[in-house]
Amino acid sequence: MKKVEAIIRKSKFSDVKNALHDVGVNFFSYWDVTGLGNEKEGHVYRGVSYSTSDIQRRFISIVVNDDFEEITVSTILKAASTGEVGDGKIFVSDINEAYRIRTGEKGKETLN
């Protein structure tokens, strides 16, 4: 099993969510995060423009079977890309085991 984590633009979240559903990824967790990066966002408040290094993003966490890693990553890459600095990052790591709390099952079947 693999854990796919992505940090993406908040404005691309709907596109990514819909694309993941289209390829069969129907369960994932997400939350809003703030971070630092190469992109500097400009803000306008009451007509005054200012720049900040704190960048608002959405963090997505998905656990998939090994054979679904490539399609999950490629789907996020396509849906989240704008071609500009600040599109985000994707991280993939191994998951040793998974358990379904309700039944006590373990293994890759718990992801279905």
Task: For 15-24, write each residue's pLDDT tens digit.
Answer: 999 999 999 9
Position 56, amino acid: Q
pLDDT in tens, 52-89: 567 789 999 999 999 999 999 999 999 999 998 889 99
Are 69 and 4 contacting, i.e. CB atoms less than 8 angstroms apart?
yes
| Residue 86, Ramachandran bin (φ over 0: left; ψ between -120 and 50: alpha; else beta) | left
Closest among 10, 44, 4 to 25, alpha carbons compared: 4
Q: Which residues contact 10 (CB under 8 A, 6 or more apart)?
A: 32, 56, 57, 58
Burial track 86-101 (b if 16+ CB lie within 10 A, e otherwise): eebebeeeeeeebeee
CATH number at residue 21: 3.30.70.120
pTM, 2 dp:
0.83
Closest among 100, 37, 30, 86 to 59, alpha carbons compared: 30
Q: How many domains does the structure of the chain reveal?
A: 1
Token digits of residue 87: 């599109």
In which domain, by residue range, is 59 found? 2-111
Are 86 and 37 contacting, i.e. CB atoms less than 8 angstroms apart?
yes
